[in-house]
Amino acid sequence: MTHFSLQGRPFVTLNNLLKIEGLVQSGGMAKKVITDGLVKVDGEVELRKRCKIVVGQQVEYNGLVVEVVD
């Protein structure tokens, strides 16, 4: 598990989190894997590309888990 800091921001969008953390190579790829149902937020499949991810949530893709911290 890795941690992603919001650095004072209220949220990060799901597609941007995948891209920033290097889980995907591009924004287009992030949108595709989300649309294909390959990304989970807090254990549930998330299909909204711009879903707001906040402190305490966990994002899982391709066996990797990212926890969002403050």
The pTM assigned to this predicted structure is: 0.94
Domain locations in the chain? 2-69
User: Residue 15: which region, alpha, beta or left (left: phi > 0; alpha: psi -120 to 50)?
Assistant: alpha
Average pLDDT by consecutive 10-residue portion of the chain (70 residues)? 96 98 96 98 98 98 97
| pLDDT of amino acid 7 | 95
12: Cβ contacts below 8 Å, ≥ 6 apart: 4, 6, 20, 52, 53, 68
| pLDDT of amino acid 67 | 98
d(CA 69, CA 55): 5
CATH class of the domain whose range is 2-69: alpha beta
| pLDDT of amino acid 2 | 96
